Chain A
Amino acid sequence: MKEKELPKALAKRDWNNHAPLIYPGYKSTLIRNPTKPLIVVPEELAALDMPVYGDSAIGEFDHDLTRNARINGEPIGERIVLSGKVMDEQGRGLPNVLVELWQANSAGRYVHRQEIHDAPLDPNFHGAGRTLTDSAGSYRFYTIKPAAYPWGNHHNAWRPAHIHLSLFGHHLGTRLVTQMYFPNDPLFAFDPIFNSIPAHARHLLVSSFNLDMTEPGFALGYEFNLVLRGKNQTPFE
């Protein structure tokens, strides 16, 4: 068989690494997920082509949240560089993946209008941005380190500081929305969203501080790599 004629397929979603659909510690999962099993479909569906974004989708400061919402000064908080590689399960970098990011500010407040936490808004910080991975699969953002914030899941519930990331790859099955955390957060042990992930895989959501990525006199460097479902290799017997 010529390579062209082989059916395209993507590795399955690795449910061993993901949370269960219903995780009772995170209460709203109980009523917002199906109770019947997912219907298994042929692998080709996951490989369905998605429209790949190009540079025209990205504005000059979209990747720099320290600049993209300035009104009368710089946003308040600890400047960070957030950078890493988006790759498949074989470690191959994935180019032109749209990476969208949103987060709370350095006081733990989101810009979203329905947010009720009374921490201050920062007039010079919006908290959202986007970029595309380069030809090696690398991405880079400048932003402000977000803070923890309270939520209503249970008494005295606080989310560890985190950054939301949305990855839009080249296939239906390479879509990923996740959250990135910071090393050694004391709130990890108490957060059901973080702990919904099987213990062996939780470290995959924690960025690492990186002095080489740190920009002297400007911003601390955090590295966070992401792994999307890969193309299945064709076995030769």
Chain B
Amino acid sequence: MSNPKKHSQTPSQTVGPFFAYGLTPEQYRYSLTSVAHPDIVDPEMGGAHILITGQVFDGEGKTVGDAMLEFRQANHEGTYSKRAEDDFMGFGRVGTGTEQAHRYEIRTIKPGSKPGQAPHIDVTLFMRGMLNHLYTRIYFSDETEANAHDPILQLVPEDRQASLIATRKEVNGRLIYHFDIYMQGEQETVFFDV
């Protein structure tokens, strides 16, 4: 028999506009230390180092300067860390309020993947004006073959899949992936009921 639920899930509330000094203090230069950072990998670590950058746009096309994004990914072999103390924690957090154009940047390594899946990063999004955090995913534009067979990406209608695919650029030998999030409009990003 399945156990009856005795307790109701605590409702979610918005992160509000003032999370930075508590959740992303080092990035915003507050005094508290941070327990999660925009730099998921340190520069000396092996693997293909990449930069992921982008903006969040609201329904009026304006950039959002008070969003927080969290990133969860596997290491280059497709394995997830279980402990925050692991060498590659595979978790990062960034706010969109420290750069004039409200751009976020994370430095990491390109994740590997298990057979049958495409490399991806799970993204959790929080902001003022959002009462419930939402889940989306980053896939990579240079993984066409793997993307075509990824079981989660293939749940998405074909004409909306592009909203989940970060586009690759090489700038002065650096590998940069561009991933914008559109809350509404023609390019509205796909969000998952995780």
Tell me if B6 and A201 are in contact (CB < 8 A).
Answer: no
Given A40-B193, A53-B84, also A177-B183 (CB < 8 A): no
Tell me if B131 and A18 are in contact (CB < 8 A).
Answer: yes
Q: CB-CB < 8 A to B100: which residues of A? A: none
Given A52-B83, A232-B2, also A41-B193 (CB < 8 A): yes
B50 at the interface (CB under 8 A from A): no
Q: CB-CB < 8 A to A236: which residues of B? A: 1
Tell me if A102 and B13 are in contact (CB < 8 A).
Answer: no
* Chain B 61-76 residues near chain A, CB threshold 8 A: 64, 70, 72
Q: Which of B30-38, B107-115, B138-146, B168-176 contacts A (4 or more CB under 8 A)?
A: B30-38
Tell me if B84 and A201 are in contact (CB < 8 A).
Answer: no
Choose one: B1, B5, B131; the contact of A196 (CB below 8 Å): B131
Tell me if A128 and B10 are in contact (CB < 8 A).
Answer: no
A6 at the interface (CB under 8 A from B): no
Instruction: Give the most central of B5, B32, B60: most A CB within 10 Å.
Output: B32
- B contact patch SS: loop
Tell me if A31 and B2 are in contact (CB < 8 A).
Answer: no
How long is the Cα–Cα vector from A204 to B7 in the complex, in angstroms? 10
State the Cβ distance, A136 to closest chain B Cβ, in Å.
15
* Chain A 73-115 residues near chain B, CB threshold 8 A: 87-91, 98, 100-102, 110-112, 114-115
Q: List 25 A-B contacts (CB under 8 A).
A: A23-B131, A26-B131, A29-B131, A31-B58, A32-B129, A34-B189, A35-B184, A41-B152, A45-B152, A50-B91, A54-B83, A89-B7, A91-B7, A98-B35, A100-B35, A111-B18, A127-B21, A129-B32, A164-B22, A166-B23, A172-B72, A172-B122, A176-B10, A193-B13, A204-B11
- Given A33-B184, A126-B31, list of 19 further CB < 8 A pairs? A11-B5, A17-B10, A18-B9, A19-B131, A21-B131, A32-B64, A32-B183, A33-B130, A39-B190, A52-B83, A89-B6, A89-B7, A112-B17, A130-B22, A172-B72, A172-B194, A196-B131, A227-B7, A227-B8
